[in-house]
Amino acid sequence: MVNKLFSKVYELHRRYWKIAAVLTVLVTVALIFIFHYIFTHESSDDAFIEGDVTVISPKVSGYVDKVYVKDNQPVKAGTLLCAIDPRDFQTSLDMAQAQLLAAQLEEQQAGQDVERYKALLASKDISQRQFDMVLLRWKTGNAKLDAAQARLQQAQLNLSYTKITAPVDGIVTRKSVEPGMFVQQDQALMSIVLPDRWVIDNLEETQMAHIHPGLRVDMRVDAYPGVVYRGHVDSIQQGTGSRFSLLPAENATGNYIKVVQRVPVKIVFDGPPDPQRPLVLGMSVVPVIDLASGKKK
C-alpha cells in the first residue's frame, strides 16, 4: 500500500518536472523571439497617410459665372472646373486690339514720313534737325506698337484665365466656390488631391540609429483592421519636425529642457493600395520597420 502510494507520488513528481521543463523551454523560446523582434524592429504610432495637394486659385479677379465640379469628384488634367464672367475681359481685349490697330497706323505713317524726309534731307530741302524729329516720331511709334502688342497679349491671357482648368489628375476636395461669388486673384477656390499616397512616420530621434532607405515596412491602417500594407523606407527628412515648425524652438535662450525630437521618415507603398479601401490623407498608421531586412548602402 505504502509502496503504491510512493510510486504514484514519484510518477506525479516526474510528470510535473517534465511539464515544467517543457514550459520553461517554450517560455525561453518565446522570450528569445520577443527580444529578437524588439531589437530588430522599430515602430511608432505617430504616423499618417500623406499625399500631394494642389490648391486651385484664379489668376484674375471677377464674378464666378459657372462651377462645373462638385466635392469628391474625380477629374483629369484639363477638366474645366469653373469660369469667371468673361465680359469685362472681352471688352479689355477689344480695346487692346483697337489700340494695336491705331499704333500700327501711326507707326506706318511715321515710317512713310521718314522715307520722304530722307529724300528731302539728301536734296538739302530740310535741316538735319527736322529729319531727326521725324525719325524720333517713327521710333516712338515703334515703341508704342510694341507696347500695344504686349497689352493685347496680356488681354488675351486675362481672357483665357477666366476658364479655370485642372492642372493635374486627382479628386476635388474642399470646394469653396459657388456661382455669383466675387473671387480675388490667388484666392483658394478648391483643392485637388493627387492619387499618389505615402506614409510619414515621425520616429523619435533615439530610434533613428539603424533607419535607412530600403528597409522593409509592414503597415496597419487604423481604418482597416487586419489589413497589412507592405512598403519600404524611401527617405529621411533632413531636419526634425520642430525645426521646420512655424515657431522653431530657440534653445540658446532662457532655460533649456531637453525634449526628445521626432524625425519624419517617408515610407512608400510597394504596390498600389486597394481601391476598395481608400487611403485618405491624415489617416492614422502604425508602421513596423524591419531593421534586419536590408543592408545600409
* 3-state SS assignment for residue 105: helix
Q: Please name the amino acid found at residue 163.
A: K
> CA 120, CA 133: separation in Å to the nearest integer?
14
Q: Is 126 found in the same domain as 92? A: yes
Among residues 137, 162, 193, the one where a domain terminates is 193
* Residues 165 and 149 reside in one and the same domain: yes
The phi, psi pair for 256, rounded to 5°, reads: -115, 125
Is there a contact between 73 and 170 (Cβ–Cβ < 8 Å)?
no
| Predicted local distance difference test score (pLDDT) of residue 106 | 87
Quote the pLDDT of residue 135: 79
Contact predicate 175/189, CB 8 Å: yes
Give the type of residue at 152.
Answer: L
Contacts of 218 (CB under 8 A, 6+ apart): 228, 229, 230, 287, 288, 290
Surface-to-core class of residue 72, CB atoms within 10 Å of its CB (0-12 exposed, 13-18 middle, 19+ buried) = exposed
Domain with 239, as residue range(s), is 44-51+196-290
Spatial separation of the C-alpha atoms in residues 50 and 191, rounded to whole Å: 15
pLDDT of residue 297: 45
Q: Residue 223: which of 273, 289, 277, 288 has the closest Cα?
A: 277
Residue 67 is predicted with a pLDDT of 96
The CATH code of the domain that includes 91 is: 2.40.50.100
Which distant-in-sequence residues (6+ apart) come within 8 Å of 73 by Cβ? 171, 172
Give pLDDT tens digits along the chain (297 positions).
555 555 655 555 566 666 766 677 677 666 655 555 555 678 888 999 999 999 999 999 999 999 999 999 999 999 999 999 999 999 999 999 999 999 888 888 888 877 777 777 777 777 788 877 877 888 888 888 999 999 999 999 999 999 999 999 999 999 999 999 999 999 999 999 999 999 999 999 999 988 999 999 999 999 999 899 999 999 999 988 877 777 777 777 667 778 888 999 999 999 888 888 999 999 999 999 998 876 554
The three three-digit cell numbers of residue 36, written as one number: 529578437
CATH of the domain at 251: 2.40.30.170
What distances in angstroms separate CA 122 from CA 113, 191, 250, one per listed residue? 14, 68, 78
pTM listed for this prediction: 0.77
Q: Tell whether 151 and 181 lie within a shared domain.
A: yes
Residues 66 and 188 in one domain: yes
In a domain, 114, yes or no: yes
* Same domain (yes/no): 239, 150: no
- Final residue in a domain of this structure, among 193, 227, 257: 193
Residues 113 and 240 in one domain: no
State the pLDDT at residue 203: 93
Can you give the pLDDT at residue 275? Answer: 85
Q: Choose the final residue of a domain: 193, 210, 230.
A: 193
pLDDT at 5 (0 to 100)? 54
**247 and 184, same structural domain?**
no
- Residue 204 and residue 44 in contact, taking contact as beta carbons nearer than 8 Å: yes
CB burial of residue 138 (10 Å; 0-12, 13-18, 19+): buried
Q: Does 127 map to a domain?
A: yes
User: How many folded domains does the chain comprise?
Assistant: 2
Together in a domain, 202 and 117: no
Asked if residue 164 is part of any domain, the answer here is yes
